[in-house]
């Protein structure tokens, strides 16, 4: 419990210091995947965006004339950014695994590119199930790793070097199992990928130079299977990695 509490404090601090990078990042503020998540919340009148970051998802949901949209995050700075950048959002500083809302409070819950920071994903899903009204929808997206445990461990090692608040990225199969165990009925699953520009990816978290070198070294020596799966692209000299595609999973589930 103490380790989880410490990790959450670190996450809140780290992301509180990175609000500008997340607010201005095209990775978060646009994309067909964002539109899909928002479409999945159609018909909702009360929505909660968990781990809202700079508020991109919450804002997109609010634009669909949803009566109440709560932008919730562990970082006070992120909540302040979301509510100041976008009109009509209600802010809440809260732990994703201990949501301070009454049972059956929302018709839709969204969570995008955040759950890999949650120490206890099953508690998060239990809370989602609790706060969703009957027949309410969870629209979920996160990074994903291959089912191969060795490859997954390699990816997570790199992610933790970049972001000390990173808990773990899971496979789509693991998320499906957890959703079903939480009593949520899966209606749609989409496995896709997103290309990351390595320099921008490192800059967004202001990664120290020593860690950047270690990450670059690990990326230069990835297993061939992972290099193929993530479609590595190199600079003209063939040595410096410029970008790669990271796995992504989107799931729609109903309470």
**Residue 193 banded pLDDT, cuts 50, 70, 90:** very high
For residue 25, the model assigns a pLDDT of 47
For residue 31, the model assigns a pLDDT of 84
**Residue 235 banded pLDDT, cuts 50, 70, 90:** confident
pLDDT of 227 over the 80 cut: yes
Q: Give the residue extent of every domain in the chain.
A: 2-147+165-195+247-254
For residue 7, the model assigns a pLDDT of 57
Does 3.40.50.150 match the CATH number of domain 2-147+165-195+247-254?
Answer: yes
What does the pLDDT look like over 135-152, one tens digit per residue? 999 999 999 999 999 999
Mean pLDDT value across the chain: 90
What does the pLDDT look like over 16-60, one tens digit per residue? 455 554 444 444 455 899 999 999 999 999 999 999 999 999 999
pLDDT of 3 over the 70 cut: no
For residue 177, the model assigns a pLDDT of 98
For residue 204, the model assigns a pLDDT of 87
pLDDT of 119 over the 90 cut: yes
Out of 96-100, 170-174, 193-197, pick the least confident: 193-197
For residues 159-181, average pLDDT? 96
Contact in structure between 241 and 232 (CB atoms under 8 Å): yes
The pLDDT > 70 percentage for the chain reads 88
* Alpha-carbon distance values, 70 to 19, 32, 132, 253 (Å): 18, 22, 13, 19
pLDDT of 114 over the 80 cut: yes
């Amino acid at each position: 419990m103490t380790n989880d509490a410490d990790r959450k404090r670190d996450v809140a601090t780290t992301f509180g210091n990175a609000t500008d990078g997340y607010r201005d990042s095209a990775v978060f503020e646009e994309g067909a995947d964002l539109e899909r998540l928002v479409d999945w919340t159609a018909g909702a009148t009360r929505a909660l965006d968990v781990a809202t970051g700079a508020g991109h998802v919450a804002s997109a949901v609010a634009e669909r004339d949803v009566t109440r949209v709560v932008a919730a995050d562990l970082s006070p700075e992120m909540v302040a950014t979301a509510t100041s950048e976008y009109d009509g959002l209600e802010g809440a500083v809260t732990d994703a695994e201990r949501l301070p809302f009454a049972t059956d409070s929302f018709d839709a819950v969204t969570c995008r590119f955040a759950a890999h920071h949650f120490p206890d994903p099953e508690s998060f899903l239990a809370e989602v199930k609790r706060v969703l009204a009957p027949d309410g929808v969870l629209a979920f997206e996160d990074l994903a790793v291959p089912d191969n445990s060795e490859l997954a461990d390699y990816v997570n090692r790199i992610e933790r070097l970049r972001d000390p608040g990173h808990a773990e990225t899971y496979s789509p199969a693991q998320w499906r199992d957890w959703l079903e165990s939480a009593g949520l009925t899966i209606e749609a699953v989409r496995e896709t990928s997103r290309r990351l520009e390595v320099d921008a990816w490192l800059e967004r978290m202001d990664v120290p130079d020593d860690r950047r070198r270690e990450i670059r070294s690990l990326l230069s020596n990835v297993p061939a299977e992972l290099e193929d799966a993530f479609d590595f692209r190199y600079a003209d000299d063939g040595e410096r990695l410029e970008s790669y595609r990271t796995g992504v999973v989107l799931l729609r589930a109903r309470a």
